[in-house]
Amino acid sequence: MIHLLLAVIYVSFISLGLPDSLLGAAWPSIYQGLRVPVSYSGVIFCIISMGTVISSLQSDRLTRKFGAGGVTAISVAMTAAALFGFSASNSFWALCLWAIPYGLGAGSVDTALNNYVALHFASRHMSWLHCMWGIGASVGPYIMGAALTRGAGWQMGYRIISGMQVVLTIMIVLSLPLWKAKTTADAGEQEAAPAKALTLKQIFRIPGVKEVLVTFFCYCSLEQTTSLWASSYLVLNRGISPETAASFASLFFLGITAGRALCGFLTLKLNDAQMVRMGLGLIAMGVVLLLLPLGETAALAGLLLVGFGCAPIYPSLIHATPGRFGAENSQAIIGVQMASAYIGNCLMPPLFGAAANHTTIAIFPYYLLVILILMGAMHETLQKGTKAGH
């Protein structure tokens, strides 16, 4: 039965990734059809992100009330409804309206699933589950592309993903007894949870929380900045053709997805802290290759290394949370970790764009290096100040 539950969670992580890249894939068709400026995608992205931050911060209260399985079912149902709403929208403002439940659903399910897996399963599953997210994020644009190629329109792409989310919601509802059985079986291994959800003030008083929030902020800042700006850097600073740069940039995501599949095996030998340090080292080597004027091959290898380096960091940091801060605090802390991560996603890539606009895009690897150094410093400070294994 536990293996069946794990299979449901794996599928849930694939489903988590499916909608994440849809907006970018569909936007060229959406903005032309709705006759709005291309920059308006940023408005929808910000609404989704703000909803995700809010629901992540509320995840502790919601999970205590409905349980991890219940929150997952409700959140996926909200996402399914929001995606169907997107498919039925004929105006930009309708998309903005449906972006609210889109973001609220995404944050809750992300936090609930991550905490549940961190509490109840080995580290390797966290790496493989986030690899599943990468598969979902890769498949989403293909589904949208197929809908557009066949002339069905971007609405059909959203409708197909919505239907998949409805099926997943039914699966999760049917599996709810398994979630409860697993939690009961592990109850003796976990510390008793406090009667009430922790407030933000209480969370920030816990030693190590500030450091881990900065670490998450830096990680997602680095990942998202690389995702958005790597192609532009290669074209404008290295003189690489746009077509080649696009294929090079895809290696970054290949590195993350393949790296997480491999990291699941490495966790059998390395603990969470060692996995993070390994990732930081690989990113450093990748950034150095981007800094050096060694031609296209070095740039390709650099992006691939940055992707491989990113692979273990996020899953390992999350998996270490119950051991670092206590099982009784993990849901609340993972919630604020997710919120900090999403804030990094929203803030730092546009900040780089503004900085590059006023200087030169050649600062791209230096920008990544500064974020990397801060992330490494915060992680080491975190290790010294908390009880997680070194």
pLDDT for res 218: 95
Answer whether 59's CB lies under 8 Å from 175's CB: no
Which fold, 200-385? Answer: Growth Hormone; Chain: A; (1.20.1250)
Contact yes or no for 31/166 (Cβ under 8 A): no
Distance, CA of 356 to CA of 42 (rounded, Å): 18
- What does the longest C-alpha to C-alpha distance in the chain come to? 60
* Whether residue 139 has pLDDT greater than 60: yes
Average pLDDT over residues 317-341: 86
- Report for 37-51, 111-125, 245-259, 314-328: range of highest mean pLDDT: 314-328
Question: For residue 10, how many C-alpha atoms fall within 13 Å in the half-sphere facing its CB?
Answer: 13
Res 389: pLDDT:
46
pLDDT digits (tens, 9 = 90+) for 163-187: 999 998 898 888 888 877 655 555 4
Predicted pLDDT at 188: 46
Confidence band, pLDDT 50/70/90 cuts, at residue 192? very low
22-34 helix and 123-149 helix, angle to the nearest 10 degrees: 30
Q: Break the chain into its structural domains and give their ranges.
A: 2-182, 200-385
165 contacts 173 by C-beta, under 8 angstroms = no
* Local confidence band at 219 (pLDDT 50, 70, 90 cut-offs): very high
| Structural tokens at position 26 | 């569909």
CATH class in words for 2-182 = mainly alpha
* 28-73 residue pLDDT tens: 788 888 888 877 877 888 888 888 888 888 877 888 788 878 888 8
Domains 2-182 and 200-385 share a fold: yes
* Average pLDDT for the chain: 83
